A = this chain, B = another copy of it.
Amino acid sequence: MKSEIEVFREFIRKKGLRNTPEREAIIKEIFATHDHFDVDELYLRLKNKKQKISKPSIYRLIPYLLESGLIQEAYFEDGHLHYEHIYGHEHHCHLRCLKCGKIIEFEEKSLKKIEKKLAEKHDFFIKAHKFEALGYCSKCKVNI
């Protein structure tokens, strides 16, 4: 299986764009942890590693990462989008606590079937899906 960097290089080449060390550093950092990320946090993680990469470079890269299928928007919270890397990882969905913000990831194969059904019914080519369940976790549900 190709690495995420290889996938990106191929994508960039096909689009006639240029690759840079900044872009590869950002991608490596995104794939360095399992967690979701947001722009500011990713910027700080890179900064802590003494990588001088500006926020605009991150913002400018994101549309390409989405288009190449390396990442996906996960959810909108605290006034900004959160992303997750999806290449090479089992697709998963989120269960989010509305009180403490805790997020549990889970896998649900049956969603794939629903996706297929929808594609046929509405004549869509479905690329991805997002399923998010919102509620209160075991700790928070006691005093809603």
User: A-side interface residues toward B, CB under 8 Å?
Assistant: 73, 76, 81, 95, 97-98, 104, 106, 108, 110-111, 114-115, 118-119, 121-138, 141, 144
Q: Do residues B123 and A114 form an inter-chain contact, with CB atoms below 8 A?
A: no
Q: Are the C-beta atoms of A129 and B131 separated by less than 8 Å?
A: yes
Please give, as numbers and ranges, the residues of chain B lying within 8 Å of A76 by CB-CB distance: 73, 76, 81
* Complex: A65 Cα to B47 Cα, angstroms: 39
Copy number of this protein in the oligomer? 2
19 contacts between A and B (CB under 8 A): A95-B118, A97-B124, A98-B127, A106-B122, A110-B114, A115-B133, A123-B138, A124-B135, A125-B135, A125-B144, A126-B134, A126-B135, A127-B135, A128-B134, A129-B132, A129-B133, A129-B134, A130-B130, A130-B131
Which secondary structure characterizes the binding site on chain A?
strand
Once bound together, how far apart are the Cα atoms of A131 and B125, in whole Å? Answer: 16
Q: Which residues of B have CB within 8 Å of A133?
A: 115, 118, 124, 126, 128-129
Whole-angstrom distance from the CB of A101 to the nearest CB of chain B?
13
